[in-house]
């Protein structure tokens, strides 16, 4: 039986702002001690470089504190205990939909990322079989073929914008493996990829610019791209339903075929919303993670050497099989975990408390906006010693198993753990293995990197690197270059 859809959220800026002001005044309970109100400079910094402010507040006030930014006071929860409480122990009290993801709904609709309660549980229950190990394995050939294709044109000595390269590659994989569209058809698949990128660019603009409406605004361009993309998606859904064609093992076909325990299936709109959500979540996170992994390997020749040794021993020159793509290269797994520790793509989890609660000994009032922050939690020295360094051994199986609950949460936790996590990780492995079998990437001399937060963690500027022959750099190049994580 289909569960009622959640009520739509207000997208008109003035009305949404008035509602937030009214709801804020209605909170009578005190907030946890904390910071604020922030001045203009600090407000700008929290938007562009929040990590130092959050870690400083953690040191001053403990794992749960409040912060007043402009007109809103919100609660931040950092560290293993707080993460586990919000994600697992009392997850039902902390809703996503009204916690800060409202901006995503106009593009994504009511997908897993923007819904709560019974509607979320039903959708996740129907979708889980589509992400079973055997179903995901069907995408392995697509991932490897696209990775090989993307490397064909590389030449030793040329400079490549790794983030741009990874983004195009991830989009091609998403078009084929998620939606079953051909990015080389010169028509539907190509247009879908372009329209999605156009729509997604809205979330990379500054917050103030995202508030603008009307002709020529980023909002208007995003909504226009969404309508074009919807025409493509709904036409493909109707075509498959009419012909009974499930597709060639792609996720869209699995969503169309999936049913609940009572036999109910996803409606066309639900299939569209879930497909868009998976496209959003998988595309951005994969692009960022592979970029950061390659960046850190270029800065850490020892780690790179260990990955080469593992490939030479376990692959011996052959292409990876399903075993290697699903965790069969232990050193690569450790490097991937460490990359996600330093750069969790979904770095913040905004929620709203439905009822009063207590987190790590601090009272949280009903109606408060509450955010956990994996980016800050992953850099606590009492949990991860020497947290700024890339040390993959900290994720050796025994050490990873000994971490406190909630210490490592790059994909969320509990019932809201990213459903596409296995798909995304297999894609990253396929790209990394394919590249490291052929080449080494070297950072440009003196080049630093800054990190952008929206919509996910990613390099702010082009991540340009030089293509080199496979193998370790000469001893004169073993020093890691200077780096700025944020500006």
Q: Look up residue 72 and give its DSSP letter.
A: E
Q: Is the dihedral of CA 116, 118, 119, 120 positive or negative?
A: positive
Nearest to 255 by CA among 126, 118, 111: 126
Q: Can you give the pLDDT at residue 2?
A: 57
pLDDT at 366 over 80: yes
Q: Can you give the pLDDT at residue 472?
A: 79
Gyration radius of the chain over CA positions: 22
Give, in order, the Cα–Cα distances in Å from 286 to each of 138, 143, 344, 381, 434: 18, 12, 11, 27, 15
* pLDDT band of 486, cuts 50, 70, 90: very low
Nearest to 160 by CA among 482, 484, 440: 440
Give residue for tokens 């909170």.
Answer: 27
Q: Can you give the pLDDT at residue 475?
A: 54
In which element (H, E) is residue 290 found? helix 268-299
In which element (H, E) is residue 73 found? strand 72-77
pLDDT at 3 over 80: no
pLDDT at 474 over 80: no
| Enclosing domain of residue 280 | 13-477
Give residue for tokens 């490549």.
Answer: 160
Let me know if residue 8 belongs to a domain. Answer: no
CB atoms within 10 A of CB 320: 24
**Strand ranges for 367-463 from DSSP E:** 369-373, 439-443, 451-452, 458-459
Tell me the helices (H) and strands (E) count for the chain, helix number first.
20, 13
Let me know if residue 69 belongs to a domain. Answer: yes
Let me know if residue 5 belongs to a domain. Answer: no
Q: How far apart are CA 425 and CA 448, in angstroms?
A: 27
Percent of the chain residues past pLDDT 70, beyond the cut: 96
φ/ψ (deg, to 5) at 450? -115, 155
Q: How far apart are CA 90 and CA 86, in angstroms?
A: 6
Give, in order, the Cα–Cα distances in Å from 468 to each of 161, 213, 443, 463, 473: 14, 47, 10, 16, 9
pLDDT digits 0-9 by tens, 295-331: 999 999 999 999 999 999 999 989 999 999 999 999 9
Q: Which residues pair with 349 in a beta bridge?
A: 372
Among 133-142, 230-239, 263-272, where is mean pLDDT lowest?
133-142
Using left for φ > 0, alpha for ψ between -120 and 50, and beta otherwise, residue 361 falls in left
Mean pLDDT throughout 371-377? 96
* pLDDT band of 482, cuts 50, 70, 90: very low
CATH number, domain containing residue 176? 1.10.630.10
Q: Can you give the pLDDT at residue 479?
A: 46
Let me know if residue 252 belongs to a domain. Answer: yes
> What's the half-sphere exposure (Cβ side, CA atoms, 13 Å) at 407?
18
- Report the mean per-residue pLDDT for the chain: 89
Let me know if residue 485 belongs to a domain. Answer: no
In which element (H, E) is residue 69 found? strand 64-69
Give residue for tokens 């610019």.
Answer: 209
Mean pLDDT throughout 191-196? 90
Let me know if residue 1 belongs to a domain. Answer: no
Mean pLDDT throughout 237-255? 86
Q: Can you give the pLDDT at residue 485?
A: 46
Let me know if residue 7 belongs to a domain. Answer: no
Let me know if residue 315 belongs to a domain. Answer: yes
Mean pLDDT throughout 82-98? 93
| Strand-pair category, 464-469 with 159-161 | antiparallel
DSSP annotation string for 26-54: T--SPPPSEE----HHHHHHHHH-HHHHH
Under 8 Å between Cβ of 188 and 232 = yes
Total domains in the fold of the chain? 1
């Amino acid at each position: 039986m289909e569960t009622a859809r959640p009520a739509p959220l207000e997208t008109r800026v003035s009305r949404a702002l008035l509602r937030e002001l009214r709801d804020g005044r209605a909170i009578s309970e005190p907030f946890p001690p904390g910071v604020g109100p922030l001045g203009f400079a600090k407000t700008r910094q929290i938007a562009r470089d929040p990590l130092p402010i959050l870690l400083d507040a953690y040191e001053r006030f403990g794992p749960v504190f409040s912060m007043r930014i402009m007109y809103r006071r919100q609660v931040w929860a950092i560290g293993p205990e707080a993460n586990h409480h919000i994600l697992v122990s009392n997850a039902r009290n902390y809703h996503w939909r009204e916690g800060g993801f409202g901006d995503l709904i106009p593009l994504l609709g009511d997908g897993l990322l923007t819904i709560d309660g019974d509607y979320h549980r039903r959708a996740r229950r129907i979708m889980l079989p589509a992400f079973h190990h055997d179903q995901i394995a069907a995408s392995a050939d697509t991932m490897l073929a696209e990775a090989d294709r993307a490397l064909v044109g590389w030449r030793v000595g040329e400079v490549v914008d790794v983030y741009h390269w990874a983004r195009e590659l991830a989009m091609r994989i998403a078009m084929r493996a998620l939606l079953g569209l051909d990015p080389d058809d010169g028509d539907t698949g190509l247009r879908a990829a372009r329209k999605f990128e156009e729509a997604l660019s809205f979330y990379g603009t500054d917050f103030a610019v995202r508030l603008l409406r009307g002709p020529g605004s980023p909002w208007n361009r995003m909504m226009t791209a969404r309508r074009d993309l919807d025409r493509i998606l709904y036409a493909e859904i109707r075509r498959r339903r009419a012909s009974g064609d499930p597709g060639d093992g792609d996720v869209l076909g699995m969503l169309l075929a999936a049913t609940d325990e009572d036999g109910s299936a996803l409606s066309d709109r639900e299939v569209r919303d879930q497909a868009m959500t998976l496209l959003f979540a998988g595309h951005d996170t994969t692009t960022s993670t592979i970029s950061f992994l390659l960046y850190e390997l270029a800065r850490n020749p020892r780690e790179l050497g260990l990955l080469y040794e593992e490939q030479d021993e376990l692959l011996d020159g052959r292409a990876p099989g399903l075993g290697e793509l699903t965790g069969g290269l232990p050193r690569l797994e450790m490097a991937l975990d460490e990359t996600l520790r330093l750069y969790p793509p979904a770095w913040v989890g905004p929620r709203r408390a439905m009822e009063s609660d207590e987190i790590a000994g601090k009272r949280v009032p009903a109606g408060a906006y509450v955010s956990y922050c994996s980016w800050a939690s992953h850099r606590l020295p009492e949990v991860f010693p020497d947290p700024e360094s890339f040390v993959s051994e900290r994720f050796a199986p025994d050490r990873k198993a000994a971490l406190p609950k909630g210490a490592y949460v790059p994909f969320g936790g509990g019932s809201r753990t990213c459903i596409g996590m296995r798909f995304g990780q297999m894609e990253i492995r396929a790209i990394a293995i394919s590249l490291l079998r052929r080449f080494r990437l070297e950072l440009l001399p003196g080049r630093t990197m800054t990190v952008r937060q929206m919509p996910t963690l990613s390099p702010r500027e082009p991540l340009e690197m030089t293509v080199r022959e496979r193998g370790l750099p000469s001893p004169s190049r073993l020093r890691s270059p200077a780096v700025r994580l944020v500006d």
